[in-house]
Amino acid sequence: MSVRILALVGSLRAGSHNRQLAEAAAKHAPEGVEVEVFEGLAEVPFYNEDIDVEGSLPEAAARLREAAGSADAILWFTPEYNGTMPAVLKNAIDWLSRPFGAGALSGLPVAVIGTAYGQYGGVWAQDEARKALGIAGAVVVEEPKLAIAGSVVRFAELHPADDTEAVDGLVEVLSQVAERTRAAAA
């Protein structure tokens, strides 16, 4: 079974190291695994139940739900902003968790990884994202974890796709997510 993994990146800036890490995941995905980096997370409006109405759902939110609904799993790439995940990722969780109990996250395998400037690589943000995703109904793949520290220095001149340690970590995470996805489908 081929596994389609949707990559959601929590940093919106053009030179984002987490975006580069997602590109590296797509480039180095193991055989039988396809990684698609979602475009347009910045256009998804903040979740508001008043606009989450059939027939008038914002187009960007509908595209996000459609992409998540057609994926076999989601890989969340998060930097750490003030000790937690960026609002854009929390907003994606909110949109994908609705309707309650039947949202695109319900029963879907997910993993959270990333890179950050600090010495711990964004582990607080990753922990917060895992917590929110679990509460939202996703099946959180807890291991292996991948938190790459010192992103500004480490990736100043080296793309994560060319960093052997980063690639090895990505392949390990992708393999585990694929294995869990296949087991859930069996």
Higher pLDDT, 144 or 186: 144
What integer pLDDT is reported at residue 114 of this predicted model? 97
Q: What is the DSSP letter of 29?
A: P
pLDDT above 90: residue 101: no
What integer pLDDT is reported at residue 52 of this predicted model? 96
Q: What is the DSSP letter of 16?
A: -
Backbone phi and psi for residue 61, each to the nearest 5 degrees, phi listed first: -70, -40
Helix spans in 70-163 (H): 87-96, 123-135, 151-154
Q: Quick one: average pLDDT of 143-163? A: 94
CATH architecture of the region 3-185 = 3-Layer(aba) Sandwich (3.40)
**Distance separating alpha carbons of residues 119 and 21, to the nearest angstrom:** 17
Query: Would you call 70 exposed, middle or buried from its count of C-beta atoms within 10 A (0-12, 13-18, 19+)?
Result: exposed
CB 95 within 8 A of CB 61: yes
Q: Quick one: average pLDDT of 137-145? A: 96
pTM, two decimal places: 0.96
Q: Quick one: average pLDDT of 16-21? A: 97
Q: Quick one: average pLDDT of 81-95? A: 97
Higher pLDDT, 184 or 94: 94
What integer pLDDT is reported at residue 185 of this predicted model? 86
